[in-house]
Structure 1
Amino acid sequence: MLMLTIDRAKEALKKYFGYDRFRPMQEEIITNVLERKDTLVLMPTGGGKSVCYQIPAMVMPGVAIVVSPLIALMKDQVEGLVSNGIPAAFLNSSLSLDEQMMVEHQVRTEQIKLLYVSPEKLVSPQFMGFLRGLSISLFAIDEAHCISAWGHDFRPEYTQMALLKQTFPEVPVIALTATADKITRRDILSQLRLQQATQFVSSFDRPNLSLTVLPGQNRFKQILRFIESRQGQSGIIYCLSRKGTESLAKKLSAEGIIADYYHAGMSPTERDRVQESFIQDRIPIICATVAFGMGIDKSNVRWVMHYNMPKNIESYYQEIGRAGRDGVKADTVLFYSYADVMTLRDFLDDSGQKELQLNKLLRMQQYAEAKTCRRKMLLSYFGETLSENCGNCDVCANPPETFDGTLIAQKAMSAIARLADPKLNDLKKSISVATGMLIDILRGSSRVDLLQKGFDKIKTYGAGRDISYNDWQLYLQQMLHLGLVEIAYDQNNVVRLTEESWKILGNQSKVEFTKLSSIRETFQKATASPRKKSKKEELFDGLFELLRQTRAEIALQRNIPPYVVFSDATLEDMAKKRPVSIKDMMGISGVGEKKLKDFGNAFIGVIVKFIVQKAKQGYNIKGSTQLLTYELYQTGLSVKEIAQERKLNEKSIYTHLGALYEMGYNIDLFKYIEISDIELVKKAIIETGEREMVKPIFDYLEEKLDYYQISMAKAYINRHGIQ
């Protein structure tokens, strides 16, 4: 019985989503849910979590209740499901009373298979009463980390959902999250009262995401170069402050880049406007605080950038996960500076979990400072081991070169030591300047406050004037990484020496620095202009852009997000395979039955037109010769005239017309053959068992029909079958 249900699940996957097979772990999770077992799923953003409850909802009797934290997220997911032919709806405050009553009626009359609600709605007495009158297939708790105080996005209203198991003990619960450590996972199970839940922890690896960390100097110039090399792509730039989002968006706009900002201080109307414009691809770039993104199911975000360092790896991982949800290549960039670390530490002073959050910040800092494969570090945080370097992060792409930096380090440390307060009589205990002043001293600056304090009198004043201010920042950053200096965060962020410093000053140890050229090369690669494309790449990119434009036009007509029509991954598959018939289009990943019916012909038309145009320009594209024949056939030319026009023999033209008819094109075969010809060929196929070759049929019929007549009769039979 279960195997039959799994088969039905696979059929549903193809019918509604257009995929031939499940992604890793999806089938096991779905099997567990179909067995009516409670389930906890930890799967990265873009890993296919939603399918793990959407497919069971379609094959199990009753309605699935999905708890989702944000109205925008519900709207996006329901739009996507409906476009796939899945009966889904949501209940939240955005609906009028009449609309809510209509949805409730549809649920009661079993017209809806998935109903999305907020946690507040779910636990209200009135709604719980409504649920008791339904046949419920399952409860799905999305963004389940919100239930845990240990999670990075705790929501108190989630904690009331223990009611589900108490009220509906027989209904399976599936809790899903993209980011939860072991403590958070245990807390989720405890809070939901899931005693015997099966846990599925998927790989956190998102190999389609490139990982790059750049120094936080001249950020705006780097951002401009990055965006210029990615024209037309959707991206998000996360900033630490509301003011930062507004400032950056205005600067980008002043450079002619279409961008806007989003933060929690805006009115709901303004936030909705910006979010909707981003979803609809009207605004490609959003500068945002972390308030933006959780409620967006947009699959074609091609890059995510962090203008400032996030407070922990969980947040970072979830935010970069908003790029490349469709599985297509996407880029992530993190700008890193100690100023951000200091700001985040200040924020932690108001935290009720200061020690825990400080440790998480330290891990984030270590990731940003890594000189080994970043993906290995990222995955190890979530308890996963990567056996080989990923090859898709800045460290792997540009392994750092090192040099003996002992003299440079000694100059800086000597200056720090000489700046110590002489009254303390202990050079190891206290110093009096932050990094900016230290660099100015090393470079021999004439700033007034430096001279007033007499810092120009120390021996190392000007000892590093041959090194630029920006380079000194990078060297001091490396010294901090290596533990050669430390920042006294509780004393106005002044720089201190460490025990290791004195070993270097005493020539007992050497310092190995990463060459700054290696760091700059990473930046250059991240923002490099694309190389000259091959003809194959030009064909792919040209068709992909036409398909993208077609998608945008359809989305505008239907008032739905473009990615709801088809994802970038599906458009890429079309651009690669160039389907020119309904049968071909059925083989494209992500094209289900309803989307094939709704959009198939529109996209096939664009592809055919593109192939014909390129064929006339001299490109050799598979299948183009039949399409060129079809273009002439549509003008009313005879087979002989088409052959003359194309400089081909008539036999080839007949073959083209037969192939086109078989693919579903509007060809009048009966201008060339009779019904009786088809019957003769049917009989010959049955008698000889030959369905591919023409000559055995020709011989069997003792030359009663010409080769072209047999080919056309076979095309008719292949299209309609032998009756």
Structure 2
Amino acid sequence: MNSLEKDLSKSLKKYFGFSTFKKPQEEIITSLLEGNNVFVLMPTGGGKSLCYQLPALISNGTAIVVSPLIALMKNQVDAIRGISSNEGVAHVLNSSQNKTEIKKVKDDIISGVTKLLYVAPESLIKEEYVEFLKSIEISFFAIDEAHCISEWGHDFRPEYRNLRAIIEKIGKVPIIALTATATPKVQDDIQKNLGMTDAKVFKSSFNRPNLFYEVRSKINPEKQIIKYIKENPNKSGIIYCLSRKKVEELAELLKINGINALPYHAGLESKLRASHQDKFLMEEVDVICATIAFGMGIDKPDVRFVFHYDIPKSLESYYQETGRAGRDGGEGKCIAFYDYKDIEKLEKFLASKSVSEREIGMQLLQEVVGYAETSMSRRKYLLHYFGEVFDEVNGLGAKMDDNSLNPKPLTEVSKEIQQMLSIVEKTKEKLKIKDLVHIATGKETAIIKSYKISSENYFGFGKDKTENFWKSIVRQAIVHNFLAKDIETYGVLKLTDLGKSFISNPTSIQMAEDWDYNQEIENSNTIVQPSGNNNAIDKTLFEDLKNIRKKVAKKFNIPPFAVFQDPSLEDMALQYPTSLVEMGNIFGVGEGKAKKFGKEFIDYIAKYIEDHDIIKPDDLVIKQIANKSSHKVFIIQNTDRKLDFEDIAKAKDLSMSELLDEMESIVYQGTKLNINYYVDELLDEDQQQEIIDFLMESESDKMSVLLEEFGEDYSDEELRIMRIKFISDVAN
């Protein structure tokens, strides 16, 4: 051991209390102290911050640490002050400070007390700060969360793009750039932008073998989450949602179901946000429901589960957020809920962005779809994304994901993908996913008529397969980069060079046969058993209940779905309700429907239990948030008063879509809503009758079915309102 190594080991012990470095911390620090530019790629929990904190503490001058979040800076400053006798050893410089505080920071730096100065990139561009920093001795610059520099990074900050020019203004010193997530493309972008292509690169493995990755269908995720937490009491966890509203609602729902949970998002007052974070760190709270604002730089080693209620916008975000689980090397469950409709919402959001931002966002989203729908080892897919090879048979953590643990049966689909790509070519790259699916299944629509496709010999070539199958085929083609959504004509699919090549030289592609994340749950009251536990549904009983539903529907002269939807029957085949009260607790039923249709079902279930010696499960019944019922009463009263829907929505601070969600919830549970006054203003008698006639004959009331039939003539909103009227009139 040379003298520098000895000094580093002593300093490590003195300041941080550790006897040994994690690999490759010592090499990184040595390289930086020798005056080299250094680029560090190290997963969350790998010990990145020590790579600049220790050299700063033992070097002459002050290290400037550029960091994107005030909360993150404060967290690190507190940690450094905790290991030093002098509070001035670390400071933050930002816009929230007053003149006295800024003077104190400057005085401590000039006197040589301050070893680490944390600044946001926005502060660094201020001329007064640049002039001050030019006048002091700087040991090095540390750029934390360096992926923020890259437009292809998951958390791009335009201010980061100016860092190189500012650093050059201040003075020539070594730079250390650090990130926990960077694909090869992002890595290259960071180095070029900071002018450090000569940097020594240290890349730790991104593999976290103790983390278990799972993707579930987003079917009643609240129940799945509550069930999991109840089965894993006193464990710390984070649940990520994309919207602040969902964070608030979910935290409230968990609380009323006896789970110690709090919300965290940027819209909360800063003191409250800090208080919620501290309670989680101090174990006064078990679960935090959060937007992505939570967790950067939070060093809580024993987070045991991370749920993604909403699928994130990029695999980098997903990797970083799941990386907050199991940082102590112990258990870490990472469960994401996936519904392709969420991807479509994110695509619509991107549609309002600039062309370049939209293009990047769309490509990042397709990677997420690929991960969610892949049948290969999820760990292999993730690590490949970050430029790392993984052996899914013998690698560390090889069986630690749902696909590896329960491999789905695969089927060869290269022929079908080739057929679909040929259709895109023959139709001159003018169509969207749904149009291609309609061509495959031979379904005439207005668009197909307008292009005179139904007379072509390829029309209906895939009638023997379902629409969902062909949707998956198109999605597979997109994931394999054979097709790309055109940026200008949003949603239209174009052949890529790879796709053109595949038509003439197809290679083997396998797809999981039974992988269908596209099941639709049309209102918030329906539920099926959480993914992975479908065996718990009594399939014999389920089929029997479908037959009973047919008889009941015939008796009332209404379609079967208007009696109970499939997810309600599945919940019955799980919970075996034998009284009207128990039937009222089945999702999608409610008191009204239980009274109207329930008797034949509960009588049959009671006899079935007796005949088969079944012990009823003591299953989870979720308490709902109280204000839901106040919406219900309010909506019923105000539709009775014939108030305009827009006014009802405004009064409860709901969007029109949220109001329709509430109305669907009311009618699907068996309560009547008098909305004829509104419908009559919206559509004439013939239009209403056309939709009602279709629903009377249809096997399904799913929006996808309605949109396929009427999407060219009516808006989503009009069809949803007609469906509410139909269910209310015929079933309640």
TM-score of Structure 1 vs Structure 2, range by shorter chain: 0.5 to 0.7
Superposed, which structure 2 residues align to 1:218-257 within 5 Å? 218-257=220-259
- Deviation string 1:364-395 (CA, Å, 9 cap, x unpaired) is 11111111111110011111101234221112
Q: 1:365 to 1:106 in 2, by over 3 A?
A: same
Deviation at 1:193, TM superposition (A): 3.0
C-alpha deviation, 1:189, in angstroms? 2.7
Contact 2:124 2:166 in 1 (8 A): no
Distance 1:121 1:29, change over 3 A: same
**Which of 112, 115, 118 is equivalent to 2:117?**
115
- The 8 Å contact of residues 417 and 428 in structure 1, kept in 2 or not, is answered as no
Match of 2:442 in 1: 417
Match of 1:391 among 399, 415, 426: 399
Report the Cα distance in structure 2 between the residues aligned to 1:511 and 1:139, rounded to whole angstroms: 48
Q: How has the CA–CA distance of structure 1 residues 326 and 85 changed in structure 2, closer, same or farther, with 3 Å as cutoff?
A: farther
Q: After TM superposition, give the deviation of residue 231 of structure 1 in Å.
A: 2.0
Conservation of the 8 A alpha-carbon contact between 2:408 and 2:513: no
**3-state DSSP of counterpart to 1:37:** coil
Instruction: State how far apart, in whole Å, the 2-side matches of 1:180 and 1:83 are.
Output: 31
Q: Distance in 2 between matches of 1:25 and 1:145?
A: 20
Distance across 1 between alignment mates of 2:192 and 2:45 = 26
Query: Amino acid of the residue matched to residue 403 of structure 2?
Result: V
Equivalent residues of 2:150, 2:156 under 8 A apart: yes
The answer as to whether partners of 1:313 and 1:364 remain within 8 angstroms in 2 is yes
| Structure 2 residue aligned with 1:144 | 146
| Corresponding letter in the other structure for 1:371 | S
Amino acid at match of 1:200: F
For 1:342 and 1:523, the matched residues in 2 are separated by 22
Three-state SS of the structure 2 residue aligned to 1:249 is helix
Taking a change above 3 Å as real, the CA distance of residues 66 and 216 of structure 1, as seen in their structure-2 partners, is same
Q: Could you tell me how far apart the structure 1 residues matched to 2:485 and 2:204 are?
A: 40
CA contact (8 A) 2:438 2:444 kept: no
TM-score, scaled relative to structure 1:
0.58
Name which of 361, 382, 388 aligns with 2:386: 382
SS in 1 for 2:382: helix
Residue 20 to residue 418, structure 1, CA distance change in 2 (3 Å): same
1:26 aligns with 2:36: no
CA contact (8 A) 2:314 2:367 kept: yes
Measured in 1, the distance between the counterparts of 2:192 and 2:492 equals 44
Compared with structure 1, are the counterparts of its residues 122 and 382 closer, same or farther at alpha carbon in structure 2 (3 Å cutoff)? Answer: same
1:358 pairs with 362, 371, 374, which one?
362
Q: Name 2:68's counterpart in structure 1.
A: 69
SS of structure 1 residue aligned to 2:151: coil
CA RMSD of aligned residues (A): 4.4
Equivalent pairs counted in the alignment come to 477
Aligned to 1:700: none
Q: What residue in structure 1 maps to residue 266 of structure 2?
A: 264
1:197 is matched with 199
Q: CA separation of 1:102/1:220 partners in 2, compared to 1, >3 Å: closer, same or farther?
A: same
Indicate if the aligned counterparts of 2:181 and 2:320 stay in contact, CA closer than 8 A. yes
Alpha-carbon spacing, 1:251–1:213, altered in 2? closer, same or farther (3 Å) = same
Q: Where does residue 716 of structure 2 map in the other structure?
A: none
1:17 CA drift (Å): 2.5
**Inter-partner Cα distance in structure 2 for 1:493 and 1:428:** 25
Paired with 2:261 and 2:50, the residues of 1 have a C-alpha distance of: 32
Task: Tell me the secondary structure at the aligned position of residue 315 of structure 1.
Answer: helix
- Deviation of the 1:340 alpha carbon: 1.0
For 2:514, the equivalent position in structure 1 comes to 514
**Could you tell which deviates more after superposition, 354-363 or 29-38?**
354-363
Distance in 2 between the 1:123 and 1:494 partners? Answer: 42
Distance 1:479 1:93 in 2: 52
Residue 335 of structure 1: aligned partner = 337
Matches within 5 A, 1:712-723: none
Shift of 1:137: 1.7
Q: Which runs of 5+ in 2 are unaligned?
A: 414-436, 457-462, 494-498, 500-508, 520-527, 537-732
Change (3 A) 1:484 1:50: closer
Q: For the Cα contact (< 8 Å) 1:420–1:427, is it kept in 2?
A: no
Q: Name the SS for the 2:192 alignment partner.
A: helix
1:124 aligns with 2:126: yes
User: Which residue in the other structure is 1:657 paired with?
Assistant: none
Who is 1:301 aligned against? 303
Provide Cα deviations, 1:409-465, integer angstroms capped at 9, x if missing partner.
Answer: xxx999953565695664499xxxxxxxxxxxxxxxxxxxxxxxxxxxxxx9xx99x
What runs of 5+ residues in structure 1 fail to find an aligned partner? 406-411, 430-459, 465-471, 500-508, 529-723
Structure 2 CA distance, aligned partners of 1:298 and 1:245? 20
Does the 8 Å CA contact 1:30/1:52 hold for their aligned counterparts? yes
Aligned AA (2:402): D
Residue identity opposite 1:417 in structure 2: G
Q: 1:277 deviation in Å? A: 3.4
For 1:349, the aligned partner's letter is: A
Q: Paired residue for 1:79?
A: 78
**Cα contact 2:66–2:144 (8 A) shared by 1:** yes
Q: Say which SS state the counterpart of residue 166 (structure 1) adopts.
A: helix
- Once the two structures are TM-superposed, the CA of residue 292 in structure 1 deviates from its matched residue by 2.8
Q: Is the 8 A contact 1:249 1:259 kept in 2?
A: yes
Tell me, yes or no, if the aligned pair for 1:13 and 1:19 is still in contact at 8 Å. yes
Q: Is the 1:63–1:136 Cα contact (8 Å) retained in structure 2?
A: yes
**CA deviation after TM superposition for structure 1 residue 473, in Å:** 11
Show CA shifts across 1:254-276 (max 9, x none). 21212232333444444344334
Q: 2: CA distance between counterparts of 1:3 and 1:268?
A: 48
Q: Secondary structure at the match of 1:345?
A: helix
**Aligned residue for 1:372?**
376
Give the C-alpha shift of residue 50 in structure 1.
0.8
Q: How far apart are 1:203 and its partner, in Å?
A: 1.6
Structure 2 Cα separation of the partners of residues 326 and 94 of structure 1: 34
Instruction: Give the AA of the match of 2:273.
Output: R
Measured in 2, the distance between the counterparts of 1:108 and 1:3 equals 33
Q: Deviations over 1:76-95 (max 9, x none)?
A: 11222233348433233454
User: Which residue of 156, 162, 187 corresponds with 2:189?
Assistant: 187
Instruction: Name the structure 1 match of 2:433.
Output: none
**SS in structure 2 at match of 1:514:** coil
2:43 is matched with 44
Amino acid corresponding to residue 397 of structure 1 in structure 2: L
CA contact (8 A) 1:165 1:193 kept: no
For the residue of structure 1 that corresponds to 2:336, the secondary structure is: strand
Aligned-partner residue type, residue 201 of structure 2: Q
Query: Aligned-pair distance for 1:31?
Result: 1.7
Distance 1:474 1:427 in 2: 21
Query: C-alpha separation between the residues in 2 aligned to 1:371 and 1:521?
Result: 21
The residue identity in structure 2 corresponding to 1:303 is F
Name the CA shift for 1:478/1:147 in 2 (closer, same or farther; >3 Å). closer
> Larger relative contact order (C-alpha < 8 A, sep ≥ 6)?
1
Whichever residue aligns with residue 513 of structure 1, its letter is E
Structure 1: which amino acid aligns with 2:291?
A: T
Cα distance between partner residues in 2 of 1:219 and 1:142: 35
Rg bigger for which structure? Answer: 1
Alignment of 1:484-503 (within 5 A): none
Q: Deviations over 1:9-39 (max 9, x none)?
A: 1222233333332222222211210111111
**Residue 316 of structure 1: aligned partner:** 318
Distance 2:84 2:187 in 1: 34
Looking at structure 2, the residues matched to 23 and 387 of structure 1 have their Cα atoms a distance apart, in angstroms, of 24
Q: Is contact 1:8-1:59 (8 Å) kept?
A: no
